[in-house]
Amino acid sequence: MAGSGRRFGLAAGMALTLGSALVWGLAHLATRRRAAGLTLLAAEALLGLLALLVTAGDRGWLLVLAVQSGWLTGLTTALLALGLGWAGLIVRSWYLVRPADLSRFGRAFGTVVVTALALLVVAPMAYGARLAYVSRGVIASVFDQSPPDGAADDPWEGTKRVNILLLGADAAPGRPGVRTDSMTVATIHVRTGRTVLFGLPRNLMRVPMPAGPARDRFPYGFTGDGPQTPGILNEVFQYAEDHPEIVPHTPAGLRGPSLLKRTVSGILGLPVHYYAMVDMKGFAELIDAMGGVRITVKEPIVYGRDSEGYIPAGTRRLSGEAALWFGRSRTDSDDYARMARQKCLLNAVARQADPATLIRGFDRLARAARRAVATDIPQRLLPALIELAGRVRESNITSLQFVPPLIDTAYPDYDLIKRTVRQTLATERRAGAAGAHPGSGGPSPSPTGGVSLDAVCE
C-alpha cells in the first residue's frame, strides 16, 4: 500500500519524486512520515557538509588519500552504497506518492521516469567507484607492496634528498631485450622540492661496476657481452637480466634495475634510492591519455622511422607519437640534443599533469601505466611522494647533462663527474637557503653546468 500518498495526482507525484531526489525525505514529509523525512534530510545535510569540507581549500590531501589502497577500497564501497541507497530512496519516494488509480500509460510513464532518475544518480557514483577500484588495481600492480618498516613519522628516514633513477626503455626491431636509452637521476630535496636532474648519456664507456660479481667480471669497467656489443651504459640493464650470476639471489625482472641503480650510484657518487622505468611506446600512450602535451619545439624535428615529415618549430601540442619522436629523434642532431629534448619533455609532462587532466583520461592512463611503468617505489611511500611532487611542481628544477664538452663519453673522467655532482648540489643548497632560483634568469649554465629547465625549454 502506498498509504496516504495515493491522494496525489500523476503530476504532483512526479514532482514530489523528483524533489525527493534533490531534497531527501520530501516525499516522506508530504505523506506525514516525519521521523523518516527529517532523518533523511539530516543525512543529506551531513553529507553535503562533508563534501563542502572535503572540496574547500587545499585539496592536495585528497591525492594523498587517493594513493592508499585502504582508502580506495573504502571509497569504492561507500560510493556504491551511496548510489544504490539514493536510487532506492527515489523508488521508495515514488511508491509513497504515486496515485492509486494510475492508468496503464501512467504506470509505464512513472516507471520509465523513476528508473531514469535512479540511473541518473547511480551513474556518477558507479563511475567514481570504478575510478577508485581501478586506481587500487594500478597501485597494486605497479608499486612494490613491501610492508611498512616503522618509519611512519618520517617516510624518508631522515634523508634530506631522495634520489630516483628515471629510465626510458626502448626495444627496437632486431634488437632483443631492453636498452635504457634515457637515464636521469632526479635528486629532490624532501623539504623544499627543489630538484636537480643529472642526465647520463647512453653511450658512456668503461663504466665502473659496483663491488661484487659485476666488478669481478669487469674490473676495468663494463665492456659488454662480447665483440658484438659496444659495452656502453645502456646495455647494463639487459646484461644483468641475461647473466643472473652477476646479480645473485635476485629474481628475473629485478636484476637489471638492481645492477643499474648501483652502477649509476657509483658513477655519480650518490645513493640511488628508487627507480622508475617507462617503456617509450607506453610513454606515448600516457601522453595521449593526457590529451597531448604542449611543448616548445626549437627546431624542426624529423618525424617517423622513414622520415615521413617534420614536427615544425614553435610552441604546439604534441600527440603521444609526435612527443615520442620529439624525444627520441637523432636525425640532423645527436644523442646529446636528444637528451636535452627528453628533459624538456619530462618537464612539460610533469607541469601539465594536473588532477583534472588525469581524471579526464583516467582509464587510458591506468591501462598504459600497467603496461608501461615499472618501479620499486613502495606503496607505503606514495602519500609522501604525492606531497613531494606538489612541492616539486612549485619549485625550481635544474638540469645537468654529462655530455661533451664536459665529459668525453669514450674516455669519461668519472672522478670529474662525482666532483661536479658535489659542486652542483652544494650550489643548490646555497641557492635553496637563500630562496633563489639558479638558472631562472636564462639558460646560461652555472659554474657547474646546471641550467633551469623552465628557462632552457621555453
pLDDT of amino acid 443: 38
Closest CA to 430 of 456, 408, 390, 398: 398
Residues 450 and 403 in one domain: yes
Residues 286 and 204 in one domain: yes
Flag whether pLDDT at 448 surpasses 60.
no
pLDDT of amino acid 440: 42
pLDDT of amino acid 57: 60
Residues 130 and 206 in one domain: no
Domain assignment present for 147: no
The CA distance from 28 to 333, in Å, is 74
Domain assignment present for 439: yes
**Which 3 state secondary structure label does DSSP give 348?**
helix
Flag whether pLDDT at 2 surpasses 70.
no
Flag whether pLDDT at 186 surpasses 50.
yes
The CA distance from 400 to 434, in Å, is 21
pLDDT of amino acid 162: 95
Domain assignment present for 313: yes
Residues 105 and 195 in one domain: no
pLDDT confidence band for 51 (50 / 70 / 90): confident
Better pLDDT: 392 or 23: 23
Residues 200 and 128 in one domain: no
Instruction: Name the DSSP class of 178.
Output: -
Domain assignment present for 12: yes
Instruction: Name the DSSP class of 209.
Output: P
Domain assignment present for 110: yes
Residues 179 and 98 in one domain: no
pLDDT confidence band for 3 (50 / 70 / 90): very low
- Which of 142, 174, 207 is the endpoint of a domain? 142
Residues 14 and 51 in one domain: yes
pLDDT of amino acid 5: 43
Domain assignment present for 148: no
Residues 97 and 7 in one domain: yes
Residue-wise DSSP of 280-338: HHHHHHHHHHTT-EEEEESS-EEETTTT-EEE-SEEEEEPHHHHHHHHH--TTS-HHHH
Residues 37 and 170 in one domain: no
Residues 50 and 173 in one domain: no
pLDDT of amino acid 446: 42
Domain assignment present for 210: yes
Stated length of the chain: 458
Give the structural domain span for 393: 161-457
83-109: average pLDDT: 91
The CA distance from 209 to 345, in Å, is 30
The CA distance from 435 to 267, in Å, is 30
Q: What is the CA radius of gyration of the chain?
A: 29
Q: How far apart are the first and last CA of the chain?
A: 71
Residues 230 and 367 in one domain: yes
Residues 210 and 264 in one domain: yes
144-158: average pLDDT: 68
98-107: average pLDDT: 86
Flag whether pLDDT at 79 surpasses 90.
yes
pLDDT of amino acid 146: 66
pLDDT of amino acid 43: 95
Here the CATH number for the domain that contains residue 440 is 3.40.630.190
390-399: average pLDDT: 82
Share above pLDDT 70 across residues of the chain, in percent, rounded to a whole number: 83
The CA distance from 92 to 287, in Å, is 46
Q: Point out the least confidently predicted range of 159-173, 329-343, 404-418.
A: 329-343
Domain assignment present for 355: yes
- Which of 142, 175, 192 is the endpoint of a domain? 142
Q: Point out the least confidently predicted range of 2-6, 11-15, 362-366, 452-456.
A: 2-6
Q: How many CB atoms lie within 10 A of CB 306?
A: 7
Better pLDDT: 141 or 456: 141
Domain count, the chain: 2
- Which of 114, 142, 170 is the endpoint of a domain? 142
